[in-house]
Amino acid sequence: MRIAIIGGDGTGPEVAAEGLKVLQTVADEVGFRYETKEFNLSGNRYLQAGGDPKTPSIPVIHDSEIEELRTFDAIYLGAVGHPDIAPGILEKGLLLKLRFTLDQYINLRPVKLYPGVWTPLKDKGPDDIDFVVVRENTEGIYTGMGGVQYKDTPQEVSTQINCTTRFGAERAIRYAFEFCRRRNSRKRMVTLVHKTNVLTFAGDTWFRAFNEIGEKEYPDIKRDYNHVDACCMWFVKNPEYYDVLVTDNIFGDIITDLAAIIQGGLGVAAGGNLNPKGVSMYEPMGGSAPKYTGKKVINPIAAIAAMAMLLRETGSHRNDTQLVEAGNRVEAAIVAVTPMMKSQAAGQMGYSTTEVGDLVARAVRQR
């Protein structure tokens, strides 16, 4: 297995290093071989190459680099975001560019409260908070379609088009149903999340695709529907209700941040940008947290969980049981370590970044 490493900015490289430490350990234990290659794709590089911090002026990633990334089995990303660079430049120039060019059409966000982790939800524990959001990752309002007219005049007009295709909805929906079968929880239910009462065109494309595919191809799985606003209430009130959710790009972006906080925050939440037949990219959700850079106080659990996902998903996309086992073993090690930590918040873990990585690596060995 060949893994491309993009440490990125801020604390990204620090947390990625702990994920790689755990990878090394689990590879030794389970007995598989891998290679890594680091790619310097950061805000710092953009600035050093003469990039304008205020407006996109040069590519953040070159086409030749994307072509090279295509040859890897997976990409492991630390963090994107630089305090001196205007919002949007790195996000669009690197993260969204990779998602779109590599057609990573699924954003997979497991939402699991690990034992001993604090949640802001009263009376809810690990048995209650355990579901998965499947977010469409390449279209909707993220395509950049639309524009602005009469800018900086009182007549300024802007549009941002919610581009929904039957093809895009269908592949996300099929992925969610397949994932639900594979997960095989007691609930065996996929919840479609949209806003069909207002988005009567785009919502209806999703709704019909969901019900037609579900009825014909997945009669064994229960189908459920929530409006996105109501879904936010239920996440807080009854998270135990959910099994697998499927939703469009922007709704998925928003509900997965709500989900991240109920699972203990950005220190633990991990996600995958998946192209099941191509190259997928795995990342902690936390961002670059520039003020903590180099202080060794940031929580690497999310990055380690992203590594567990990388192993499990790469394994399941290509029927490699050894990699799936390795992923499960890393996840079990996380579950063994979170109760030992004082908190999942940066600087309050009771351990440094590297110590948490060491604890997880030790737990991987002890099993």
Q: How far apart are the C-alpha atoms of 141 and 162, rounded to whole Å?
A: 4
C-alpha R_g of the chain: 20
Provide the minimum distance between the beta carbon of 329 and ligand IPM in the complex, in angstroms, as a whole number. Answer: 26
Cβ nearer to ligand IPM, comparing 91 with 128: 91
Closest CA to 134 of 97, 171, 94, 85: 171
Provide the minimum distance between the beta carbon of 322 and ligand IPM in the complex, in angstroms, as a whole number. Answer: 29
Among 73, 91, 170, 358, the residue binding ligand IPM under the rule CB under 6 A is 91
Q: How far apart are the C-alpha atoms of 309 and 165, rounded to whole Å?
A: 28
Part of the chain binding ligand IPM (CB under 6 A), chosen from 90-98, 220-228, 258-266, 311-319: 90-98
Part of the chain binding ligand IPM (CB under 6 A), chosen from 89-97, 163-171, 201-209, 344-352: 89-97
Total residues at interface with Mn ion (CB under 5 A):
1
What number of CA atoms fall less than 13 Å from residue 337's CA on the CB side? 31
Q: How far apart are the C-alpha atoms of 187 and 83, rounded to whole Å?
A: 43
CB 202 within 8 A of CB 161: no
User: Taking each helix axis from N to C terminus, what angle separates 228-237 and 249-262, rounded to the nearest 10 degrees?
Assistant: 10
CA 304 to mean position of chain CA atoms: 13
> Does position 355 bind ligand IPM by CB under 6 A?
no
**What mask of x and - would describe binding to Mn ion in positions 242 to 281, judged by CB under 5 A?**
-----------x----------------------------
Interaction with ligand IPM in 173-202: which residues (CB under 6 A)? none
Provide the minimum distance between the beta carbon of 257 and Mn ion in the complex, in angstroms, as a whole number. Answer: 5
Residue number, nearest CB to ligand IPM: 91
Q: How far apart are the C-alpha atoms of 309 and 76, rounded to whole Å?
A: 10
> Does position 325 bind ligand IPM by CB under 6 A?
no
Closest CA to 61 of 101, 103, 93: 93
CB 296 within 8 A of CB 25: no
> Does position 91 bind Mn ion by CB under 5 A?
no
What secondary structure letter does DSSP report for 84?
A: T
Total residues at interface with ligand IPM (CB under 6 A):
4
Provide the minimum distance between the beta carbon of 252 and Mn ion in the complex, in angstroms, as a whole number. Answer: 8
Cβ nearer to Mn ion, comparing 21 with 194: 194
DSSP string, 248-299: -HHHHHHHHHHHHHHTT-TTT-EEEEE-TTS-EEEEESS---GGGTTSS-S-
**What mask of x and - would describe binding to Mn ion in positions 148 to 187, judged by CB under 5 A?**
----------------------------------------
Residue 259's binding partner, choosing from ligand IPM, Mn ion, none, with beta-carbon cut-off 5 to 8 A by kind? Answer: none
CA 135 to mean position of chain CA atoms: 9
Residue 95's binding partner, choosing from Mn ion, ligand IPM, none, with beta-carbon cut-off 5 to 8 A by kind? Answer: ligand IPM
Residue 85's binding partner, choosing from ligand IPM, Mn ion, none, with beta-carbon cut-off 5 to 8 A by kind? Answer: none
Interaction with ligand IPM in 238-267: which residues (CB under 6 A)? 253
Part of the chain binding ligand IPM (CB under 6 A), chosen from 48-56, 91-99, 126-134, 217-225: 91-99
Provide the minimum distance between the beta carbon of 284 and ligand IPM in the complex, in angstroms, as a whole number. Answer: 10
> Does position 95 bind ligand IPM by CB under 6 A?
yes
Residue number, nearest CB to Mn ion: 253
Bridge partners for 227 per DSSP:
194
CB atoms within 10 A of CB 354: 14
What secondary structure letter does DSSP report for 310?
A: H
> Does position 103 bind ligand IPM by CB under 6 A?
no
Decide: helix, strand or coil at residue 307. Answer: helix
Task: For the chain, give the number of residues.
Answer: 367
CA 244 to mean position of chain CA atoms: 15
Q: Would you tell me which residues interact with ligand IPM (CB under 6 A)?
A: 91, 95-96, 253
Query: Contact positions toward Mn ion, by CB under 5 A?
Result: 253
